[in-house]
Each structure stands twice: as C-alpha cells, then as structure tokens.
Amino acid sequence: MRETIGNPVDRFDAPDKIGGRAAYAADLVFESMLHARTLRSVCPHAKILSIHVPELPRGYFVVDRRDVPGKNRVKMIADDQPFFAEELVRYIGEPILLIVGPDGGEIDRILSSIRVQYEILKPVLGIEEADSLGAEHRFVEYAIGKGRPEKAFAEASRVFEAEYRTGLQEHVYLETQGVVGTFDGDRVTVYGSLQCPYYVKSALVQGLGWSEDRVRVVQTTTGGAFGGKEDYPSIIAGHAAFAALKTGRPVRLVFDRHEDMRCTTKRHPSLIRIRTALDGRGTVSGVEVDIRLDGGAYEGLSSVVLQRAMFHCTGVYRFDDVRVGGQVLRTNTVPTGAFRGFGSPQAVFAIEMHMHSLAELLGEDPVDFKLKHLLRTGDSTVTGGTLRERVRMPEMVERALDMSGFRKKAQDFRRGNTDLTSDEAATAFAPAGRKLRGVGVSLFNHGCAFTGSGERDKIKAKVMLRKRADGTVEILTASAEFGQGPSTTLRKIVARTLGIPVSVVMCENPDTDRVPDSGPTVASRTVMIVGKLLERAARDLKAKWDSAPEVETRSEYEQPEYVQWDQEAFRGNAYPVYSWGANVVEVEVDPLTLETAVRGVWGVYDAGRAIDERILHGQLAGGVVQGLGYGAMEVMENGGGEVLQASLSDYMIPTSLDFPAVECALVENPFEHGPFGAKGAGELAFVGAAPALAAAVQSAIGLPLRRIPVTPEHLEEVTRGASSSRAQR
C-alpha cells in the first residue's frame, strides 16, 4: 500500500525540546546584556500629571516616549496604541517607561521608588457600560444581511430570543512573552518569542522611523502562542529596540507570569443576542444577531475579530433571511487581541446553544433539528457567498454520535435525571455517587486563512526554496513554529513533492534577513496557504533540479478565481474554504456540589487531508482541552479594571486530571487549493468544545445555560429555586 503523506514522521524539533537544549528567549545570553522592566499604569483611566524618577545609579537608564525615534504607535490593523503612554493612560498595566540596567534587584528598587501623579478620570468597565455611552466608546460597527428578515419575523409563528455571554480567556502559553533587542551601531535586531516576524519588523520600522534594511527580526524557539504572540510582541520588541538603541547594549525584556497575565492581550469577552423566527413547520425562517465584543482600551486587530465573529454567527446553518450587527466596544481594560478562533468561538457558542434551546422549545431532538438546517454544497453563506466544497457533516455527525453512544445515552440520562430530581430528598440523601448526566453535541466550521481578499490584497505571501550544492533543500518562509508543527509539516510537503527524504529538507526559525514575507502564522493558514506555495515552489524546483548546483525557486500567492469578495459590503466568499467538525461531550453534574465532571469527549473533523496525522491529532486534542477549559473553568474577571485572576493559582487551566483523553476521527475531503488537499485545523480544534460541554450540562440540569464558563457557582445560581435545591425542602 502506497504510503500516504499523513503517515507520521518524528518531529524534528522534539529531541532538543525534550532534552532541555532548545533555546527560548529567556535562555539567550548576550555579552554585556542588560535587563529591562516596565513601569505600568496603576489606574484604568487617568491623566499623567507628573513622573518623578529618582537619580539613577550609573549604568541604569530610563527609556520612555522621548526615546521613540519614529512614531509612538504600534503598527497593527488600527494603529491606536502607543509604545509608551503619552498624556493619558487607558488601562491598568499600560506601559509608561522602562528601567534598564544590569541587576534585576536594583531595577526592582528603582521601579518602586518612581512616583507617578495621576489625575483620575472615570473609567468605563464592561460591555454594557460602554454601550450605554454611545459612539465614542465604539471602536467599530458593522452590519451585514441578506434576504428579508423583517418579513420572516412579521410572518413568524413563534419568535425566540436569548442573550449569550462569554468572558475573558487567557492564553497561558507556558513560555511567557520575551524578547532581546540589540543594536550594532547601524541596525537593530530583535530576537523573540513570536508568531509573526514581519509584523514585528513593520512595527519596529514604524517605531524607529528607519528604512527596512536596518531592521531585523529573528524568531526564537517559542513555547506556545495561541494568538497571544501575534500582535503583542510588537509592543515589547519596540521597547527592547529603543532600549538597545539608547544604551548601546543588548537588552532583554522577559515577562514573569504575573506581568504576562496582568498586561497582555486576551480573548474578547462577548455579549451576543440572537433572535430567531420560526415558521409553522418548526424551521427557522429568520435570524437577527447582535454581537458586542469588549475590545479593551485599544482597537488593535479587534475589527477583524468582529468580522470573523459576524461571519461565523450563523454557524453551519442555512438561513436565507438574516441580519447581523456587530460592535467592538472600548473599555478601560487590558486590550483584547488574537486568540485561537479569533471571534468564532464566541459566535459559535451562541448559535449552538441557541439551536439547542430552539430544539428543546419545539420538543425536537437537538441533533435532528441542527441537521435539518445544515448548509449543503451550493448553499449561500451568511455573506452571500456560495459554498463550493463538499459538506460531509451529516456523516461526520453520525460518526460522532456512534463513537459516543450519544442517542442511547441521551435517552437513558433523561430518564435517570428525572428519577434523581423528582425525589425531593434525592440530593441530600442519595449516595454520593448519584449524578445528573448529560450529553451535548456541537456542529461547527472554521473559515480557513484570512477573511475575504486579505491574502491577495494584504499579505501577498511569498516563499522561497533553495537547493544547496550538498543536495539539501532549505525552506525559506516566515512561518513560526510554536508547537503546532510547521517545522515538520512544511518539510513533509516539500520532501514529498520533490520525492526526496524529509531528512534532507531544512527549516529554521524565521529570520527576516533570510526569509521572504509569507505572512503571519495565524488564521490556520500555514499549511493551507504557505504549504501550497511551497508545493508549487517545490514542483518548480523539481523541474529545475539539475540546472545548477544551487537553485532557488519562489512562489507568490494567487487567489483562486472563484473567490469573490467585496471588502466594503462584506459580501461574497468570506473564506476560500471551511474546515468542519462535530464534538460530543458527556458530563456528570454532582447535585451536591454542582461540579461538572467530563466523562467523555469525541470529535470528528474534516481538515481536508492530514499532512501528518500525529501532529494533526495533537492539535485537535490540545484544542479540545483548551476549549473545555474555556467552557468549564477559566474564569478571568475585571475588578475596577484590574485583572483579578493574574496568577496560575487563581486562573485555572486544565490539569491532567480534569478531562479524559479526547477520541478523534478524521474524515478526508481534499481541497484542491490546499497542499495534498489539506485545509486549516489549528483553530477548528478549539471552536466546538465549549458549546458541546455547555449543551451537555444544559441537558444534565434541564435548565438553559447562556454563559460560559459553566462554573459550579453559575450552576448554583441557575438551579436555585429548582426542585434540586436544598432550600425547597
């Protein structure tokens, strides 16, 4: 049997990582290196009246806005965030200045002796408060629609409306943010833990006001990212660069966990209202969705997060008459940013719970109800694009139900739960082992790569391959390895295409001096877009293989013809293709403590084709557990603008004892424009877990859930007054 590309190969980066040899940012040592730490705002909203820095010992420096040679604005989609605060501070943790020097203890002492005088201004905290204050607290607002939803509502036999809420989520990449900035008299080089070397380079060029050839960015081994190192590193790269420039020495800026949790970007909290019209046949005839996201103090890339949330808010369903409105609100809290899923987890949670509740309302089976509305090939998406690909969801859902024993469990649990809760004395006097049980299912998809014409108009990805005289081939792209596997998968694509062993294909961490800009390592685009370009460059290289001892080939992105997108109106194919998935989660809720135990998790996924099955399974399992954390336990709150859970003992991410092994199955559905048919999977992995968990808990307790995380405290609130409450007896 011919070996398929998906057969796993040993990851190239694994031995160095396991053995502790891999060098992460905090491991780098440069001669005469100095350390930098940041003085940050302690007020959520204030005018800085004065800053008093005591006289510094020799060898110690202050670096602040006056040391920004170029523009004091961090280049992002919206350039509204300064490297260092100017007259105003807008969130607790906003950087004001750096203290740089040789000894960490001395830096600590200096920082605590700096006096900042603030004039306190009224902070705006929370979506509802910002919303009530009008346009100046709105970063962006969009509206899309199709068909005639007003007509559907006017003619509806029933209307059901509900509001869904999700909270902050912290990435908790195990390696905190870290960079080292150096200056050799002419050029600045920043080494760091990052996803997008070219984003950082552009930010440095803007901050320094220099030409591009004087700026170099090198990615170091990166210990996890999940989107948290997409936009944020540009800020600290700037800081380290300005400090290196001022001191003439290499400067290391590494966060400890507390600082990282207090100040770096997080997932946008959301408030999503969905209103659905039902016709006489129990089908959804019209949908209105209003999405509000909390952007924190600066806009950054929030506009695109909102877009993705809007383009995913109707889930995998076919609704012909839809109106979607969305806003990103400005609050005086830590700016929110990119995080695996990028707006779709919030949206998919809302629509999946809504569909589940609709089914319950109609007395229908939630799975059948969802399948009844499922998109099919040829259908029109919420942005009016045509779904070209084969949709294998019905069989994927069936497979997930089979793997999990869903249907029988749903039936048995319903009966069992009734027994438990109908007994007045049940919870107190039942054996501790009696539990409320539930199974939940989620159906979801994720648009692969950048929205609309982003690849063609913004990124314009370029890759290079270089055959060396010794017969090895080097991949030159800006793709960053941070655990998700491109340092192995991209090599496989090239090796396979060239027909050479994967061991002679080289791929180093990107250095902007050496690699072309193939775009950021985000949006589940690396295998699908960059991998495809490499496949093309490899075919080209194969044809030219013998033409010279050293051969270079390049490839540049070309948008497939069928992609039609109007960026002004948000109409057309929002994404070139979707990956699809179905999750089932089984839970037990303890009626005594209202703790939820997850007893089983299953997933069936269509990511086109696996380039490496082991790596793909790793992404899926990891994404699911991170998604279960989002749905069950990751509480991060803002108290007066301060992050209340800013340590790993207060912010709970899953441990090995919290969730069982995830059972995953893959379905093949090759995408002609993906390398070997592959599509994106990194974010797909995350999206479905929390909704499936919440649906399972909703089934277990028999009461609707409208927010995550589904904590025991929240369940106590929800079940208060219901028959299982002690107060009733």
State which of positions 403-432 bind another protein (CB under 8 A).
425, 427-432
* 135 contributes a contact to another protein by CB under 8 A: no
Instruction: By CB under 8 A, name the one of 528, 615, 700, 708 that touches another protein.
Output: 615
Q: Out of 139, 482, 578, 676, which residue is the one contacting another protein (CB under 8 A)?
A: 482
Joined tokens for residue 713: 């405290």
Least spacing, CB of residue 505 vs another protein, in Å: 18
**Minimum CB–partner distance for residue 306 and another protein (Å):** 26
Q: Which is nearer to another protein, 174 or 548 (CB)?
A: 174
Cα R_g (the chain), whole angstroms: 26
Contact with another protein (CB under 8 A) among 84, 91, 164, 173: 173
CB-based burial, 410-429: b 16+ in 10 Å, e otherwise: beebeebbeebbeeeebbee
> Does the protein bind another protein through residue 262 (CB under 8 A)?
no
The answer to whether 652 contacts another protein (rule: CB under 8 A) is yes
Is residue 143 near another protein by the rule CB under 8 A? no
707 binds another protein (CB under 8 A): no
**Cβ within 8 Å of residue 184, ≥6 positions away:** none
| Closer Cβ to another protein, 221 or 381, answer by number | 221
704 or 712: whose CB is closer to another protein?
712
Provide, rounded to whole angstroms, the least separation between the CB of residue 130 and another protein: 24
Instruction: Select 251 or 328, whichever has its Cβ closest to another protein.
Output: 251
Stretch near another protein under the rule CB under 8 A, chosen from 219-227, 296-304, 534-542, 567-575: 219-227
In the set 169, 221, 247, 445, which binds another protein (CB under 8 A)? 221
Q: How far is the CB of 323 from another protein (least distance, A)?
A: 37
**Residue 33 engages another protein in binding (rule: CB under 8 A):** no
- Residue 682 Cβ, how far from another protein at the closest point, in Å? 11
507 in contact with another protein (CB under 8 A): no
Could you tell me which stretch among 129-137, 161-169, 369-377, 612-620 binds another protein (CB under 8 A)?
612-620
Site for another protein (CB under 8 A): which residue of 66, 151, 468, 726? 726
Amino acid at 247: T
Nearer to another protein, 432 or 469 (CB): 432
User: Residue 304 contacts by C-beta under 8 Å, 6 or more apart in sequence?
Assistant: 77, 342, 343, 451
> 129 or 642: whose CB is closer to another protein?
642
Alpha-carbon gap, residue 427 to 719, rounded angstroms: 13
Q: Which of 4, 15, 419, 468 binds another protein (CB under 8 A)?
A: 15
Nearer residue to another protein within complex by CB, 405 or 572? 405
Q: Identify whether the C-beta of residue 278 lies closer than 8 Å to the C-beta of residue 157.
A: yes
What is the smallest separation between the CB atom of 195 and another protein, expressed in angstroms? 12
**DSSP readout, 230-292?**
TSTHHHHHHHHHHHHHHHSS-EEEE--HHHHHHHS--PPPEEEEEEEEE-TTS-EEEEEEEEE
Give the separation between CA 475 and CA 595, rounded to whole angstroms.
49
In three-state secondary structure terms, 498 is helix
Do 321 and 382 contact (CB within 8 A), yes or no? no
Q: Which of 44, 93, 207, 223 binds another protein (CB under 8 A)?
A: 223
Q: How many residues does the chain have?
A: 729
Which of helix, strand or coil describes residue 170?
coil
Consecutive H or E run containing 151: helix 149-154
Q: How far is the CB of 667 from another protein (least distance, A)?
A: 20
Task: Give the per-residue SS3 of 419-484.
Answer: HHHHCCCHHHHCCCCCCEEEEEEEEEEEECCCCCCHHHHHHCCEEEEEECCCCCEEEECCCCCCCC
* Residue 489: both structure tokens together: 């998968």
Asked whether position 192 contacts another protein by CB under 8 A, the answer is no
Stretch that binds another protein, among 100-108, 209-217, 293-301, 447-455 (CB under 8 A): 100-108
In SS3 terms, 95-107 reads as: EEEEEEECCHHHH
Provide the minimum distance between the beta carbon of 639 and another protein in the complex, in angstroms, as a whole number.
9
Burial (0-12, 13-18, 19+ Cβ within 10 Å), 112: exposed
First to last CA, the chain: 67
User: In the set 98, 254, 271, 291, which binds another protein (CB under 8 A)?
Assistant: 254
Tokens of residue 235, six digits: 């800020």
Q: Is 545 helix (H, G, I), strand (E, B) or coil?
A: helix
Task: Give the interface size with another protein as a residue count (CB under 8 A).
Answer: 95
* Residue 392, both tokens: 């294998």
Closest CA to 662 of 630, 611, 616, 620: 620
Residue 311 interacts with another protein (CB under 8 A): yes or no:
no
In the bound state with another protein, the residue whose beta carbon lies nearer, of 425 and 469, is 425
**Binding range to another protein, per CB under 8 A, among 271-279, 481-489, 530-538, 544-552:** 481-489
Pick from 563, 621, 678, 693 the residue near another protein by CB under 8 A: 621
Residues 586-605 binding another protein (CB under 8 A) are 590, 592-595, 597-600
